[in-house]
Amino acid sequence: MSKRSSGQKQDTRLAHAGREPTQQHGFVNTPIYRGSTVLFPTVKCLEESAQPFTYGRLGTPTVEALQDALAELEGGYRTLLTPSGLSAIATTLLALLSAGDHVLVSDSVYRPTRRFCDKVLKRLGIRTTYYDPLVGASIAQLIEDNTRVVFTESPGSQTFEVQDIPAIVAAAHARNVLVVLDNTWATPLFFKPFAHGADISIQAATKYIVGHADAMLGAITTSEATWAPIAEAHDEFGLCPGPDDTYLGLRGLRSLSARLERHQRSALQVAEWLGKRPEVARVIYPALPSDPGHALWKRDFTGASGLFAIVLKPVSKPALAAMLDGLSLFGMGYSWGGFESLILPFDPRTYRTATTWQAEGPALRLHVGLEDFGDLRADLEAGFGRLSAAS
């Protein structure tokens, strides 16, 4: 593992964490190591596994570099990479839960996380209860004798409810229940999971860590106490990220702070502009003072990324399609966190169970990319023009 430095600021660590040029012939970046077989010089070394790398699936210097950097930035004990964000979530839940256990999952969780609970965990005899993401300390009332994990995601997928993580952690830890956080929206730069008491933090590194929409990657960062079961499951499931994707994660990480600063600035500009549009009923973005989660966000987060939602006033489906189909800069597609702007209609009424989504009209999720704000505004403005014309 590479050295950590406690005295340096986060931006400095972003540039230097997980990097040892002296071990790479002076080259600045840890290169892409490809490989399965790793040779041992002697029988003794083989029998004792007495070298840092033993088999490709169990890690390479490229993988270790990104793991070390992420563990340091999240403020956790150690990190393990997986081939996707969803595999990080699935591995964590399977590592911590057994037949007969109960898990509490936020109703605002990423939808495939929910599907995993409803299908795989259910089949294994593990029961899931979905809770209102705004539950706070009242999570205590939902904890049962066999509850092992509270799964959180803050802000929540699509609807961006900010969860009171310290209050949930206090109630969970009082009953020896672990708290897992999907920290993808904030990244380790804008929310420090372990400083707020979480036991495990998950990143869909596919998003802002990679940052360029060109790779799939997940990361599980643990506390010291939760390291053993996660490491064991990760090993037993045979998970290993691809070498190129890992390298792209490392490369993306170096510019994460600079990119997020810009995503945040432009997202605020777009959100404020949208808030004044007559077609928009409300904007859901915790960084806006008008957002119901703003006070909690201000207390616990140090920034906001470029992903938020708007609710439109009632409008016909063809009018909405006319707006979205003609956009030239905002692309329609899944994922987010890349350099490019995205827009996606969504409707939580179709799958949420613990809360009721009430909206004036259709909802849209926007990812504000690194393009010029004026150009993005013009693209949306033209879209509203088409929407009005088709209404």
Ligand X SMILES: Cc1ncc(COP(=O)(O)O)c(C=O)c1O
Q: CB-wise, 228 or 332, nearer to ligand X?
A: 332
The answer to whether 262 is a known catalytic residue is no
What does the alpha-carbon distance between residue 361 and residue 380 come to, in Å, rounded to a whole number? 17
- E-strand ranges in the chain read 78-82, 102-106, 127-131, 147-153, 178-182, 200-203, 218-222, 280-284, 307-312, 342-346, 363-367
The answer to whether 182 is a known catalytic residue is yes
Q: Is 184 in the site for ligand X (CB under 6 A)?
A: yes
In the bound complex, what is the minimum distance in angstroms from residue 184's beta carbon to ligand X?
4
Q: Does residue 384 contact residue 277 with C-beta atoms inside 8 Å?
A: yes
Q: Edge to edge, what strands does the sheet with 280-284 contain?
A: 280-284, 307-312, 363-367, 342-346
> Environment class of residue 224 by beta-carbon count within 10 Å: exposed (0-12), middle (13-18) or buried (19+)?
exposed
In the bound complex, what is the minimum distance in angstroms from residue 14's beta carbon to ligand X?
21
Q: Between 61-74 and 243-254, two packed helices, what is the crossing angle to 10 degrees?
A: 40
In the bound complex, what is the minimum distance in angstroms from residue 241's beta carbon to ligand X?
11
Q: Is 84 in the site for ligand X (CB under 6 A)?
A: yes
Task: Determine how β-strand 127-131 pairs with β-strand 102-106.
Answer: parallel
In the bound complex, what is the minimum distance in angstroms from residue 167's beta carbon to ligand X?
21
Q: Is 29 in the site for ligand X (CB under 6 A)?
A: no
Q: Catalytic: which of 207, 254, 352, 365? A: 207
DSSP reduced 3-state for 331: strand
The answer to whether 110 is a known catalytic residue is yes
In the bound complex, what is the minimum distance in angstroms from residue 85's beta carbon to ligand X?
2
Both tokens assigned to 183? 């920290």
Q: Is 216 in the site for ligand X (CB under 6 A)?
A: yes
Q: Phi/psi of residue 200, each to 5°? A: -145, 135
* Among positions 264, 335, 388, 391, the unique one binding ligand X when judged by CB under 6 A: 335
Site string for ligand X, 255-294 (x = CB under 6 A): ----------------------------------------
Q: Edge to edge, what strands does the sheet with 200-203 contain?
A: 78-82, 218-222, 200-203, 178-182, 147-153, 102-106, 127-131
Both tokens assigned to 61? 């210097």
Q: Catalytic: which of 68, 101, 164, 182? A: 182
Query: What number of CA atoms fall less than 13 Å from residue 254's CA on the CB side?
Result: 12
Sign of CA dihedral 38, 18, 199, 117: negative
Q: Catalytic: which of 33, 110, 130, 131? A: 110
In the bound complex, what is the minimum distance in angstroms from residue 43's beta carbon to ligand X?
41
Q: Is 86 in the site for ligand X (CB under 6 A)?
A: yes
| Residues 6 or more apart in contact with residue 22 via CB below 8 angstroms | none
Q: Is 158 in the site for ligand X (CB under 6 A)?
A: no
* Among positions 105, 204, 209, 329, the unique one binding ligand X when judged by CB under 6 A: 204
DSSP state of 155: S
In the bound complex, what is the minimum distance in angstroms from residue 26's beta carbon to ligand X?
34
# binding residues, ligand X (CB under 6 A):
13
What does the alpha-carbon distance between residue 357 and residue 385 come to, in Å, rounded to a whole number? 28
* Among positions 2, 157, 201, 246, the unique one binding ligand X when judged by CB under 6 A: 157
C-alpha R_g of the chain: 22
DSSP state of 161: P
Q: Is 308 in the site for ligand X (CB under 6 A)?
A: no
Site for ligand X in 136-155 (CB under 6 A): 153
Q: Is 68 in the site for ligand X (CB under 6 A)?
A: no
* Among positions 18, 85, 211, 348, the unique one binding ligand X when judged by CB under 6 A: 85
What does the alpha-carbon distance between residue 360 and residue 60 come to, in Å, rounded to a whole number? 51
* Number of residues that this document lists for the chain: 391
Residue nearest to ligand X (CB): 85
In DSSP terms, which residues pair with 153 in a beta bridge?
A: 182
Site for ligand X in 217-236 (CB under 6 A): 218
Site for ligand X in 92-131 (CB under 6 A): 110
Q: CB-wise, 188 or 218, nearer to ligand X?
A: 218
Q: Catalytic: which of 3, 4, 57, 122? A: 57
Q: Which stretch binds ligand X (CB under 6 A): 15-23, 51-59, 78-86, 358-366?
A: 78-86
Q: Is 54 in the site for ligand X (CB under 6 A)?
A: no
* Among positions 64, 68, 74, 182, the unique one binding ligand X when judged by CB under 6 A: 182
- Residues recognised as catalytic: 57, 110, 182, 207
Residues within the interface to ligand X (CB under 6 A): 84-86, 110, 153, 157, 182, 184, 204, 206, 216, 218, 335
